[in-house]
Amino acid sequence: MSRSDLLRVFLRDDADIAEEVQREIVLRLFGTHAEAVRIEVHDGVVTLGGRVHGTALVPLATLPARAVEGVVDAQCVLTGPPRHPDLDPDLPDPQRAAPA
Please, what are the averages of pLDDT over each run of 10 residues along the chain (100 residues)? 61 93 93 91 95 83 92 91 65 56
Task: Report pLDDT for 95.
Answer: 59
Task: Report pLDDT for 82.
Answer: 76
Task: Report pLDDT for 70.
Answer: 92
Task: Report pLDDT for 14.
Answer: 95
Element (H, E) at 76: strand 73-79
pTM for the model: 0.71
**Does CATH number 3.30.70.920 belong to domain 3-79?**
no
